[in-house]
Each structure stands twice: as C-alpha cells, then as structure tokens.
C-alpha cells in the first residue's frame, strides 16, 4: 500500500461508533471487553462456539450500551469452514457499503487453555490448538482485511506472557500463542498503513489449576513483578488503549508479567 504523506491524517480512524468484532466473546475476558466496548458506545459483533452463551451475552449488551441489536455468529474455529461462516454471518447482520465494511476493528480473545503434559503430548493437541489460536484467527483477519482497511481499523490479539517465559504442561498452547503473536506482527506489516495490528501479552488472570490450589496461586502470583493475578479490567484497559493507539502497529504490550 502507498505510504501517506508525512503529517497526513491517513491513519486516523473514522469518526463515530466503531463496529468491533469480538472473537471468543463469551470467555471471561471476551465478555469484559464486549461490555466495555458497548459501554463506550461502540457497536459490538460477537462470535464464539456456544449459541446459548452468545445469545445471553447479546441480550445483556443490548440492555446496556446504545441498546442497538448485537449480532452474533456461532462458529467453531476448529472447523474448516469457520472463517467463511463468520464472514457470511457478519455480512448478513451488518451489510457492508462502498465506504464502510461489516466491521472496523477486531479483538481476538478466543481459544482454550489445554493442559498437555509432556509425556502425553499428541499431534492432535498441537494441530487443534494451533487451529483455534493461530490459523483460524489469522485467516479471519485476512478475510476481513478489506473491511478493516475501509475503517482505518485495528486488530488487537490477546497473547500470553508464557511465550517469552514458558511454563510447564502447556507445549501445545504456548506454541500456538507464539505462532499467533508472530503471525499478527507479520500482518501488521502486510496491512500497514491502513490497518494497525497489535498484541497484548498478558500474565495470569485466571489459572484453572491455581484457582483450585491457593498455594500454587500464591507461588505464581509472587513470580510476577506486581505480585498478583490480573483482573479483566486490567486487560480491558490495555485492549481499548491499543484499539485507539493510532500511531502504533506491530507492537506487543506486555502486562502482568
Ligand atoms: N485468562 C488468562 O489468565 C489468560 C492469560 C493469558 C492469555 N490469555 C488469552 O486471553 C484470551 C481469552 O482468555 P479467557 O480466559 O477469556 O478464555 P476463556 O474464558 O476460556 O474463553 C475462551 C473463548 O474462546 C472461545 N472458544 C474456545 N474454543 C473455541 C473454538 N473451538 N471455536 C470458537 N471459539 C472457541 C470460547 O467460546 P465458547 O464459550 O463458546 O466455547 C470463549 O468465548 C485467550 O486467547 C487466552 O489465550 C488468557
């Protein structure tokens, strides 16, 4: 793409409410992000795997925010047709026009946190986790690149601090999170200057094993510089900041490490 003239407003986003797709919207961080976006007046569009959770979340968002209809698209990112399903669902719910896409921005907050003890690690674990966390999200951004560009949009992906400081029993997950981080940084180059792509690399907000084991929780929390697990508000703050950071792309913002 052609570089804008120095000092031009080429990279500034369109005015007014943004249309923001939240992927993994029904997760503990996805819900908090969708709520914060609705509260500040953005139009949110939601995708995840469970239609019931999506329906309940959409209904609750319609009762707050700007009370507009909140479109949902159900898709399992392990399925090969997931990206097509999501894009077609968005097109139907939020038809694009010449000047505006179905969405302006994307937040990637999807995927499971599978425990894969080293001795039992299988090819299927790696393939499945790579598909949900890296391959499908990268293909989704690719498929929506034109929409993002029309909106001078932004992509924010949730990464994991473990990709720079790995922990045990999660080879498949950490490999996938490393892949999506690198993939998003590569997309930042491909999509500049019209679309910005950044990553929030977070420490622990919730850890299923630590939640059940206060000693483990204490040990993990004290390993981080700020001495505590994060809250969803801690993460939301940085996601919104990166969506709005009009002079940042290809960056990784570490929090809670
Ligand atoms: N929580 C943490 O401490 C932490 C730390 C570091 C990084 N992160 C990253 O932050 C992001 C959000 O974490 P979270 O704690 O909010 O996760 P979460 O509560 O487990 O939620 C995961 C979300 O991903 C969706 N999902 C899972 N498998 C899917 C599939 N096959 N197809 C489509 N959607 C799928 C879930 O949808 P359904 O509910 O419909 O299944 C849900 O909306 C993840 O990318 C995670 O790697 C989290």
Residue-wise DSSP of the chain: -PPPPTT-STTSPPSS--EEEEETTTSHHHHHHHHHHHHTTPEEEEEES-HHHHHHHHHHHHTSTT-----EEE--TTSTTHHHHHHHHHHHHS---SS--S-SEEEE-------B-GGG--HHHHHHHHIIIIIHHHHHHHHTHHHHHHTT-EEEEEEEGGGTS--TTBHHHHHHHHHHHHHHHHHHHHHTTT-EEEEEEE--S--HHHHT-HHHHHHHHHHSTTSS---HHHHHHHHHHHHH-TT--S-EEEE--
- The Å distance, Cα 188 to ligand 1 centre, comes to 23
**Residue 13 domain flag:** no
- With respect to residue 227, please indicate whether it lies within any of the assigned structural domains: yes
- Residue 222 is predicted with a pLDDT of 86
Query: Residue 211 — pLDDT band, cuts 50, 70, 90?
Result: confident
Ligand 1 proximity of 206 Cβ (cutoff 6 Å): yes
Q: Ligand 1 centre and the CA of 100: distance in Å?
A: 29
- 250, part of any domain: yes
Q: What is the pTM of this model?
A: 0.95
* Ligand 1 within 6 A of CB of 256: no
Is residue 205 lining ligand 1, measured as CB closer than 6 Å?
yes
Mean pLDDT of the chain: 93
pLDDT of residue 257: 87
Nearest CA among 80, 77, 75, 40 for reference residue 61:
40
pLDDT of the residue at 14: 58
Q: Judge whether 27 lies within some domain.
A: yes
- Ligand 1 atom nearest to 202, measured from its CA: 6
Q: Residue whose CA is closest, atom 2 of ligand 1?
A: 205
The CB of 94 under 6 Å from ligand 1? The reply is no
What local confidence, expressed as pLDDT, does residue 218 receive? Answer: 85
For the Cβ of 76 lying below 6 angstroms from any atom of ligand 1, the answer is yes
Ligand 1 atom closest to Cα of residue 235 = 10
Task: With respect to residue 12, please indicate whether it lies within any of the assigned structural domains.
Answer: no
The rounded Å distance from CA 28 to ligand 1 centre is 7
HSE (side-chain half, CA atoms, 13 Å) at 24: 25
> What is the span of the domain harbouring residue 142?
19-255
How many domains does one find in the chain?
Answer: 1
Distance 15 CA to ligand 1 centre (A): 30
Specify the pLDDT at position 254. 97
Rounded to whole angstroms, the Cα distance separating 239 from 59 reads: 23
Is residue 99 one of the residues assigned to a domain? yes
73 Cβ closer than 6 Å to some ligand 1 atom: no
- Looking at residue 7, what is its pLDDT? 43
CATH number at residue 107: 3.40.50.720
Ligand 1 neighbourhood includes 111 CB (under 6 angstroms): yes
| Lowest-confidence pick of 7-11, 34-38, 64-68, 77-81 | 7-11
């Amino acid at each position: 793409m052609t570089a804008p003239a120095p000092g031009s407003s080429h990279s500034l986003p369109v005015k007014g409410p943004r249309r923001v797709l939240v992927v993994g919207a029904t997760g503990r961080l996805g819900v908090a992000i969708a709520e914060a976006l609705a509260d500040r007046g953005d139009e949110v569009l939601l995708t995840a795997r469970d239609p019931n959770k999506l329906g309940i979340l959409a209904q609750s968002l319609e009762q707050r925010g700007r009370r507009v209809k909140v479109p949902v698209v159900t898709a399992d990112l392990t399925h090969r047709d997931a990206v097509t399903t999501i894009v077609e669902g968005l097109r139907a719910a939020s038809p694009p026009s010449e000047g505006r896409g179905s969405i302006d921005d994307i937040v990637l907050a999807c995927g499971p946190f599978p425990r894969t003890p080293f001795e039992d690690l299988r090819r299927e674990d790696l393939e499945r986790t790579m598909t949900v966390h890296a391959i499908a999200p990268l293909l989704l951004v690719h498929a929506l690149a034109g929409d993002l560009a029309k909106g001078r949009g932004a992509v924010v992906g949730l990464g994991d601090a473990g990709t720079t400081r790995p922990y045990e029993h999660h080879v498949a997950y950490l490999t996938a999170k490393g892949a999506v981080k690198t993939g998003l940084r590569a997309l930042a180059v491909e999509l500049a200057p019209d679309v910005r792509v950044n990553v929030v690399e977070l420490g622990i907000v919730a850890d299923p094993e630590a939640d059940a084991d206060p000693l483990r929780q204490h040990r993990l929390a004290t390993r981080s510089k700020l001495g505590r697990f994060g809250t969803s508000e801690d993460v939301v703050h940085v996601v919104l900041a990166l969506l709005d950071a009009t002079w940042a792309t290809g960056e990784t913002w570490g929090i809670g490490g």
